């Protein structure tokens, strides 16, 4: 079995690599992801044989020139290869960072293999398993989104392995779904705005662009049943790329392959797509150019920086978060973020900074005002009780029990502050 690497820049093959397989192969599935300049390429054969290649120095490979081609080929030939076996026939596969997720045929749990391990693990159990036709990832590979033939969409959090959303996309009982692709891929949270689907509609098949919220169809075109929706660069102007197959399995002069590129022409929808992809600087410029609501960009940037500051804990991201508040006009929304941060961060200076800043905003929502007041009161009480030098705010500290009471949770539920 061989795999050939092609360069789109050079418009030519770079090299062909043999994989350690002893049996013939008629069909294989491929998927990849890039982490810290390492490309993890998975090749999955229909017999369950799986190859995971770790290719280093991917940036140079992706931009290979005639001058660097020889060195790039050396990097490819030295790629580490891991071989293992999955007992379930695959419908499709997806790389999630340095792991590969297999979508089995039938009602079987998703299977995941992490690089360096020799066996697949099941995500869930057989009782709750779905028969997905396609699974894709979003939000920097934190969430998996699966679609069944019956139109059921399930979002799974890979950090907790919990299901965060189930929704059915069917508009009538006769629809059968074959594939889907994000139109505006979520980059910050698993809130999906618009997706493209390949769906059976009576006696024909269509590619439709649908709103996840309303299920309204914004665009439709008749396609072949075997049409594939291809992922595109998250910075590309195109929205959807789809490929229709040859008319027959035996090529002839009359056979064609059709590649369709669909772009967004409505400024409002393109603006939303830029925000969903996390391209906030471009979205801000686009909003100014077309007279759109730039506040949506400022709110998205605030939400993004809040997530970054809570995940990595860097001072730089926290300072950026504090600065982002100034651009957001919605005082109540800023107040909610300040309260969330006060109950999330594990450093006193950050907690007090957020609560102090909230007092500067003209917050009108009574519940938000009340929660911020209780958080300030509990913080002062905790510091007075423990003493400034002993007041800890990390996950194992007593502070977690104090702050849980702000929302009426935990053993130490607090009363409203008069």
pLDDT one-digit tens code per residue, 118-145? 888 888 888 888 899 999 988 878 889 9
Tokens representing residue 167 in the block: 């929704």
pLDDT in tens, 13-56: 878 888 877 677 777 888 888 888 888 888 888 778 888 888 88
Using 50, 70 and 90 to split pLDDT, how confident is the model at 177? very high
Task: Determine contact, residues 96/158, Cβ cutoff 8 Å.
Answer: yes
Residues 6+ apart with CB under 8 A from 129: 107, 108, 109, 110
Over residues 148-173, the pLDDT tens digits come to: 999 999 998 888 888 888 999 999 98
For residue 309, pLDDT over 70 is answered with yes
β-strand 176-182 against 194-201: which pairing, if any? antiparallel
CB 95: neighbour CB atoms within 10 A? 22
- For the stretch 112-124, pLDDT in tens is 888 778 888 888 8
Hey, where are the domains in the chain?
1-126, 130-246+257-265, 293-407
pLDDT bracket for residue 258 (50, 70, 90):
low
Give, in order, the Cα–Cα distances in Å from 10 to each of 37, 92, 252: 21, 29, 28
**What whole-number distance in Å separates Cα of residue 178 and Cα of residue 415?**
53
Mean of pLDDT values over 60-70 = 79
- Tens digit of each residue's pLDDT (9 = 90 or more) over 279-293: 899 899 989 988 899
Q: Is the per-residue pLDDT at 229 higher than 80?
A: yes
CATH number (3.20.20.210, 2.130.10.10, 2.40.50.140, 3.40.190.170) of 130-246+257-265 reads 2.130.10.10
Which DSSP symbol is given to 416?
Answer: P
Give the strand pairing for 12-18 and 28-35. unpaired
Residue ranges of E strands in 233-337? 238-244, 258-263
């Amino acid at each position: 079995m061989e795999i050939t690497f092609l360069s789109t820049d050079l418009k030519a093959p770079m090299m062909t690599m043999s994989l350690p397989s002893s049996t013939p192969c008629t069909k294989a599935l491929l998927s990849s992801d890039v982490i810290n300049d390492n490309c993890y390429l998975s090749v999955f054969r229909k017999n369950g044989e799986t190859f995971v290649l770790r290719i280093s120095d991917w940036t140079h490979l992706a931009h290979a020139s005639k001058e660097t081609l020889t060195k790039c080929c050396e990097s490819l030939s030295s790629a580490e290869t891991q071989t293992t076996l999955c007992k379930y026939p695959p419908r499709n596969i997806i790389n999630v960072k340095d792991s590969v997720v297999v979508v089995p045929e039938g009602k079987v749990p998703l299977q995941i293999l992490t690089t360096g391990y020799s066996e697949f693990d099941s995500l869930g159990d057989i009782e709750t398993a779905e028969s997905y036709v396609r699974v894709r990832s979003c939000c920097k590979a934190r969430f998996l989104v699966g679609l069944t033939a019956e139109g059921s969409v399930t979002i799974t959090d890979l950090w907790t392995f919990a299901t965060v959303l189930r929704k059915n996309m069917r508009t009538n009982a006769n629809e059968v779904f074959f594939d889907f692709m994000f139109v505006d891929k979520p980059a910050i949270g698993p809130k999906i705005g618009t997706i493209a689907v390949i769906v059976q509609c009576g006696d024909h098949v269509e590619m439709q662009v649908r709103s996840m919220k309303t299920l309204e169809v914004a665009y439709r075109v008749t396609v072949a049943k075997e049409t594939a929706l291809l992922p595109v660069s998250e910075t590309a102007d195109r929205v959807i790329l789809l490929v229709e197959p040859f008319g027959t399995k035996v090529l002839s002069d009359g056979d064609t392959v059709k590649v369709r590129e669909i772009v967004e022409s409505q400024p409002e929808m393109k603006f939303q797509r830029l925000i969903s992809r996390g391209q906030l600087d471009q979205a801000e410029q686009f909003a100014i150019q077309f007279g759109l609501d730039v506040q949506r960009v400022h709110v998205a940037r605030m939400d993004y920086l809040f997530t970054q500051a809570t995940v990595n804990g860097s001072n730089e991201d926290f300072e950026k978060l504090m600065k982002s508040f100034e651009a957001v006009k919605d005082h109540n929304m800023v107040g909610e973020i300040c309260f969330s941060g006060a109950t999330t961060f594990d450093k006193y200076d950050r907690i007090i900074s957020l609560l102090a800043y909230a007092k500067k905003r003209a917050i009108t929502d009574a519940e938000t005002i009340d929660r911020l007041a209780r958080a300030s009161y509990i913080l002062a009480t905790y510091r007075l009780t423990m003493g400034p030098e002993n007041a800890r705010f990390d996950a194992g500290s007593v502070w977690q029990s104090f702050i849980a009471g702000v929302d009426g949770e935990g053993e130490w539920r607090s009363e409203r502050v008069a």
